[in-house]
Structure 1
Amino acid sequence: GVVSKPSNTDSSSESNGVSNKVVLSLINPKMQVVANVSEKDVLKLRKNQKVQISTYGTNKQFTGKIASIGTDPVQGTQLGTDTTSTTLAQSSSVSNYPVYINIDNQNDIYSGFHVEATTVDESELPKIPKSAVFDHNGNKYVWRIKNNKLKRAPVDLDEYDSSYMQVRSGLDFGDKIIKKASAGMKEGDIFGTAATGN
């Protein structure tokens, strides 16, 4: 852990002559974002899904991945009309579930920062034919057409069905790719002159 300066409040107490004064506290240097997600959206998320994170205070952008999704609703409190505390689960018509997100780069972000995390609905990710994907040294690529030339583009993929892959990163909607990659293609080939499969 990392030594964190204790607060100024003295939380010491003595029992049988033994002091319980706090001299230091340790914090885990590997931080996570903990987000409460509505039951309307929680089933759209999955473990290892990529997330964009922005901080309110510094307006910096970070990336991360969902580490886990809780299945027990978050118990919160809200003030009732009789000034007594009632649980959120009892007083709200919508349940919220904890989602834990690992942050890729933890520079310039501290415990307690308020953040906003966004991700893309699984159903809105691009899908490409399996025939467009080729393996190079253990990594997955497609041939993207840019300025009428072939450019190798690394892609992060998931299985979608027997014919298609779902693109997690590396391509956007509207990108043009070669549908059938072949061994004769190389970086910089002019589209239409190489052994392209369109």
Structure 2
Amino acid sequence: MTEKRFTGRWLFWGLFAVLVVGAIYLTVRSDPVWVDLVPASRGPMEVSITEEGKTRVKDRYLVSSPVAGYLHRVSLEVGDPVAPGQLLTEVDPMPASVLDARSRAEAEARVGAARSALNSARQKVAAAEAEAIFAARELRRLQALTDSHFISEDRLQQAEAADERAQAILRSARFDEEVMAHELSAARTRLEVSAARVTGNDDIERVAVKSPVNGAILEIVRKSEGVIQAGEAVLEVGDPGALEVVVEVLSFDAVKLTPGVRVRLTGWGGTTLEATVRRVEPVGFEDVSALGVEEQRVQVVADIVSPVDEWKMLGDGYRVDATFVLWEADDVLRIPASAIFQHEGASHVFRADEGRARLTPLVTGRSNGLYTVVKDGLGQGDLVVRHPDRQLEEGVRIRSR
């Protein structure tokens, strides 16, 4: 009985000691740190720059009064279509300037200059037509050889680009010819008015102001009638179907953009449009943000490449959100950028391992501010702490919220 009583006493005190040690351990040990865990996942990712821009008609033409005189009221409205040679308004010239001999001599000289410019433009049209015909023939010849695999795909693409460029140059040359013809007509009109005043014929005193191009009225600078000086703007015309997008980006971001960069256009009220950067202006300018911060910005011009039917409701001066895609990938391993921090000069994260935080180095790639590409150090599905703080250390117990 004494031996049994002694054994029972030791069992009691042993169990009591274990409970005391356990209570002390539970009391002194630190509580787990509550954290947000997120898995490393695979998926698409892109690095982009988003800025606000606006549309602009590519070719704008300011129609001015050819002579000083009395301008008649412009009856057209903004948006009305116009055709080359269409009457926009009329000007009654000032009689005193019409009878001046020196003005008449200057008008004759302008007619000669305009005639020479028109001849030069016609020669450029002829040269452009020859180039366009040659480029089209070369493209057809290479297309005929495509099935035989005698030419490379790059060579065929170069021929297609040369054909498109030749056609564009031809259209530009023909357009310049139309402008030169209009200028010649305006110079002749002024000379004819002078001759009419000398002979006493007042029937042709009124000078017609006509549209030089095919398009629409973009702005009416002077709608009401009244005295106007020679060269003073009357209205502005252009083709609203030929739009470009102008975006003012920070100079820090502009150095990352080059011609050909893909652009997504959103926020204009329609579907997402595709565009490409055509030109990055070489000169910046200073702008003041809404918060009063002085910024250096650069204008970037982009061409819309989506079908016209998708953006036919867009007009001149419309607001758009332009996203410049600097880099994109369809399938990469990524984690939130907020989970990465610098430790001893290298990128690290806290990885969750059986309820404890493990300091894990990793090799990172591209980052768009929200997500960062992981090249090495983590696997798909590994849980990392989204927002590590100073409470976390190697081996610290963690608990997910």
Shorter-chain TM-score range: 0.3 to 0.5
Question: Relative contact order (alpha carbons < 8 A, sep ≥ 6): 1 or 2 greater?
Answer: 2
Q: Larger % of helix: which?
A: 2
**TM-score, length-normalised on structure 2?**
0.18
Q: Which protein is bigger by CA-based radius of gyration?
A: 2
**TM-score, length-normalised on structure 1?**
0.36
